[in-house]
Amino acid sequence: MLRVYNTLTRENEDFVPLNGKIVNMYVCGPTVYDHCHLGHARSYVSFDVIRRYLIYRGYDVNYVSNITDVDDKVIDRAKESGEDAFELSRKFTASFEEDMKALGVMEPDTRPKVTEHIEDIIDTVARLIKNGAAYATQKGNVYYDLERSADRIGILSHQTVEGLMEGSGCRIDVEDDKRYQLDFVLWKSSPDNEPGWDSPWGRGRPGWHIECSVMSMKYCSQQLDIHGGGMDLIFPHHEAEIHQSESCTGIHPFSKYWIHNGFLTIDKEKMSKSLGNFFTIKEVLAKFPPGTIRFFIVYTHYRSTIDFSEDALVEAGRARKRLLNTISNVKHSVSEAPDNNNDCGLSELIDESRSAFIDAMDDDFNTRKAIGELFVFSRKINSIIANEKPGRPSLEKVLDLYSEINEVLGIFEDDDKANSEELSNGISDEKINELIELRDKARAEKDWAKADSIRDELKEKGIIIEDGKEGVRWRREN
């Protein structure tokens, strides 16, 4: 039974979707005013694994994740750089999509953009006003009337009204025309020099929270099974969504499960531009293979704080390589294996390991534990192929289990770099084999100096030579 930690109840709960095997899942996407940073990578890789695991467990997942392409931050950034706001958001949307692809994040079933849903947003805001849940002001702003449903405040963040009022962040803006301190904006009037759309309340643009309510209801359902995002979105963003959506539809709860990923820190400090420890995904991709970055993220439970440092990435890379080496060892064994039914206990081991993987993942997507089980499995596999002679069918089943698990975790994808001839200084397979032959000759003549110099030469070009019992193997490495 899959168990999931629900922020709403602060408990681990059995996962039972609202409607059989169908899972409607909405994950808050980025506001595209800059290149995405490592925190985004953490969040979207985590939810990607959750999504893939649900699919693996037989659920029919409808995964929706938005792009917030109009917002104060987009507008401010455009003003600073003198660019057109829409041009800017288009640019960073493309950048984001590139990053997600590099990290092996599956494309959502739908990736709606705010600017393409202005009509829907206006309709929803109008409906909220009609329902008496919101009010428009003289200045052309529309606010959600929280005082009216004050008993619902803190439903997700578990804060009291007093607590929120006394919060350090609680500021009363002099310009504000809202009635109640905790009211939040649904529609914000735009000056002529800023992006805006005509509405019943004048020219304006959507407030920050409304887009997610509107687009999740449009592309998922009026009631979601899972709503996800970073922990920092719990308040006010997700709580605002609950108010808006439930006032609009009258359906409770807006989402049955709320899942939030933990933060990413840099050298134990919060990532922030002022501290100068801010890394974009692209900066890190320039230094580490995407598979390593993904492994680093998946190797930590999604709710734990994950501390980024170069050392941690290096360690993750080594750990991952250990698993990749085993897979590569098994592949070699397959090519040399006898075509008989010698099982050597592999079938049983595979079944046990699959169960261990599922048990770990069923426990609130405990990827760290699941990978721990994978190391145990791999060590046993290495041992068996070193000491026994299993037949090809059994070995192929081992590879099948690795790919089955890879469907969920996505950590064994070959890094493009490692396999491309261009990055290995353009050296061709033929040339490599030629050099290996030369080296073999030298070795036969016990000319170790020559043999080693050939090996070093190839290593410089990213080709790793390994002598085994059954001859020489080589592989490209970045």
Partner RNA sequence: GCCGAGAUGACAGAGUGGCUAAUGUGACCGCCUGCAGAGCGGUUUUCCGGGAGUUCGAAUCUCUCUCUCGGCACCA
> Which residues ranging from 54 to 83 are in contact with RNA (CB under 7 A)?
73
Give the nearest distance from C-beta 20 to RNA in angstroms.
Answer: 28
How many helices (H) does the chain have, and how many strands (E)?
Answer: 16, 15
**Complex with RNA: residue 324 or 339, whichever CB lies closer:** 324
Q: Which residues, numbered 103-132, are part of the site for RNA (CB under 7 A)? A: none
- Candidates 108-116, 216-224, 260-268, 395-403: pick the segment binding RNA (CB under 7 A): 260-268
**320, amino acid identity:** R
Give the nearest distance from C-beta 290 to RNA in angstroms.
Answer: 18
Give the nearest distance from C-beta 114 to RNA in angstroms.
Answer: 12
Question: Quick check: 390 and 399 in contact, CB under 8 A?
Answer: no
* Residue 14 Cα distances to 253, 364, 460, angstroms: 17, 10, 53
Q: Which residues, numbered 371-390, are part of the site for RNA (CB under 7 A)? A: 371-372, 375-376, 378-379, 382-383, 386
Residue with tokens 């041009």: 87
Q: Which residues, numbered 130-189, are part of the site for RNA (CB under 7 A)? A: 157-160, 163-171, 181-182, 184
CA distance 343 to 350: 11
Nearest to 416 by CA among 101, 177, 147, 165: 101
Give the nearest distance from C-beta 194 to RNA in angstroms.
Answer: 16
Question: Quick check: 49 and 367 in contact, CB under 8 A?
Answer: yes
Give the nearest distance from C-beta 224 to RNA in angstroms.
Answer: 16
Which of 176, 352, 363, 413: binder of RNA (CB under 7 A)?
Answer: 363
By CB under 7 A, residue 318 contacts RNA: yes
By CB under 7 A, residue 10 contacts RNA: yes
Q: Which residues, numbered 231-250, are part of the site for RNA (CB under 7 A)? A: 231-237
Give the nearest distance from C-beta 90 to RNA in angstroms.
Answer: 17
**Complex with RNA: residue 332 or 397, whichever CB lies closer:** 332
**66, amino acid identity:** N
By CB under 7 A, residue 43 contacts RNA: yes
By CB under 7 A, residue 294 contacts RNA: no
Which of 282, 369, 392, 397: binder of RNA (CB under 7 A)?
Answer: 369
Buried b / exposed e across 423-454, counting CB within 10 Å, b at 16+?
Answer: bbeebeeeebeebbeebeebbeeeeeeebeeb
DSSP H/E element including 25: strand 22-27
Which of 18, 55, 126, 271: binder of RNA (CB under 7 A)?
Answer: 271
Question: Quick check: 270 and 55 in contact, CB under 8 A?
Answer: no
Give the nearest distance from C-beta 281 to RNA in angstroms.
Answer: 11
DSSP H/E element including 60: strand 60-65
**Complex with RNA: residue 192 or 419, whichever CB lies closer:** 419
Which of 190, 329, 353, 394: binder of RNA (CB under 7 A)?
Answer: 329
CA distance 367 to 373: 10
Give the nearest distance from C-beta 93 to RNA in angstroms.
Answer: 13
* Helix, coil or strand: residue 12: strand
How would you list the strands of the sheet with 60-65, edge to edge?
60-65, 22-27, 224-230, 255-261
CA distance 43 to 46: 5
By CB under 7 A, residue 411 contacts RNA: no
Q: Which residues, numbered 453-472, are part of the site for RNA (CB under 7 A)? A: 455, 464-468
By CB under 7 A, residue 264 contacts RNA: yes
Count of residues engaged in binding RNA, rule: CB under 7 A: 83
By CB under 7 A, residue 443 contacts RNA: yes
